[in-house]
Each structure stands twice: as C-alpha cells, then as structure tokens.
Chains A and B, each alone.
Chain A
Amino acid sequence: MPQVSKRSGAPSPWPQYPNDLPSEPVRFAPLERVRVRMSAPLGHIRTPFYIRGCSGTIERLCGSFPNPEELAQQRSGLPAQPLYRVRFLQKNVWHGYRGHPADVIEVEIFQHWLEKADTRTRDE
C-alpha cells in the first residue's frame, strides 16, 4: 500500500487550521476507508463525476471551509464543511487501467460527499 503522509510531531491527528467559522464536526480520520456518495443532484458540485461511487483512504484533513454548493447560490455556506484529501488507487477508478497497480490519485472532497466504506468492497 502506498505510504500515507502524516504531520510529524503533531500532538493531534488533525492539522490545526485557525478558523473561527462554525463548522460541522470532523467525522473521518487519516487512514480511514471512505466511499464517495453516488449522487448526481443539481446545482454547483465540486465532487468530480468520475470519482463518485469510488472507495479510497483519507489521506489528510485539509481544514473546514464554507460549503461551495451554498456559496454558489448566494448563501453563507455555513456551517463550514470539513474537506479531506482522499487517496484512491487508479486501478479502482478507471476500468482497464494499464499503469502501475500502486498508482494513486488524490482528490479533495467535502465531508458531506463521503460515507464510511464497507472495507470488503472495491478495496485493493
């Protein structure tokens, strides 16, 4: 499995981002398996279509940010949503991927698009 980076010497597993915005509680930790929700609603969506339905591993929490789906509609986007960098194996994303089996792609995805993955499905 590819090496997952960690902040060295940090007392908490979460990198700290100074941010006084009201925020949704953080639900996932690095190395946890998650699945991107398979959904195609209307509006402005930052979760790329190609990654929906795929399972991957939390690489890091990037911080919490106002929800762009709401910001796009003239609303505040609060409470802020935790944003994660999620790591996927390329071979799990693309059918017939011909590159190295350990190749990964990392996508930044907001928490409300993620759910706990069944670790027995679509895993490496």
Chain B
Amino acid sequence: MATRRHAPEALIARSHHDMGGRPAGKVKRVEHEAEDWERRVDALMVLLTGVLDGKRQMTVDELRKNIEALGPQAYDRMSYYERWVISITQTMIQHGVITTDELGRKMEEVKARTEDPCRK
C-alpha cells in the first residue's frame, strides 16, 4: 500500500501573510508623510472600487487576494502601497482592463522617459 509523503494538513499550511501570533519581536513604528505616488495609488483604489460613482471595477477583497498571492520574499520586501499597486495591476490584468503586453510596453516607455528626459 502506498503511503502519503505528507500528511494532508502539511500541504496547505498557513499562508505567509496570515502572520498573527507568530514570533516577531517588537513592533517598529515608522511614520512617514504619504508620498505623491502613494496618494495616487490610494485614489486609484477609491475610483476602482466605485466609492464615488458606484461603478465598481474591483473589490477590496480582490485587492487582498492578490496581495496575499505575493511570494513571501516579495511580500516582506515591499512597502504597503507597493503591495497595493502590484495587486491593483494584477487585478486589472485578470479583468482584461489591460493586457500584460500593454503593461510591459508602457513600463518600458516610462522607464525610457526617466533615463533620457530629451527622448520623445
């Protein structure tokens, strides 16, 4: 008779983001003024969830789902609004609002803008 390599519960362990109660030491409180890009990401979420006009493109639950889908290393490395912007973008790809190809080309375009301000 074949034996299981893992107990079933070992296959679906606690997700990385679900860290309540894990040993973590003292909380380091670091405050900073929101940067402009962070305010824009926040505003984007307000618009996409239809808070103002009822036209909902996504839910806060999808935002959370796609944040939770980040790999543990990426999750730990990113700041709060970095996680948001990654998740919003992922959600817009999933909904077909933008395509991966459009995003890739736009990112290249923006990068080129900052590398060479004279380039049109």
Contact = CB atoms under 8 A, between A and B. Distances in A.
Contacts of B113: none
Contact of A44 (B21, B68, B94, B95): B68
Nearest to B11: A40
Contacts, number: 42
B109 interface: no
Interface in A37-52: 40-45, 48-50
Interface of B: 9, 12-15, 18, 20-21, 59, 61-62, 64-65, 68, 94-95
B71 to A, nearest CB: 16
A49 B14 contact: yes
Contacts of B9: 40
Most interface-central of A42, A49, A50, A68 (chain B CB within 10 A): A49
Given A40-B12, A40-B13, A41-B12, A50 B62 contact: no
Interface of A: 40-45, 48-50, 68-69, 71-74, 77, 93-94
Contacts of A48: 18, 20-21
A71 B61 contact: yes
Contact of B64 (A72, A74, A77, A93): A72
B21 A68 contact: no
Given A44-B68, A48-B20, A49-B18, A68 B61 contact: yes
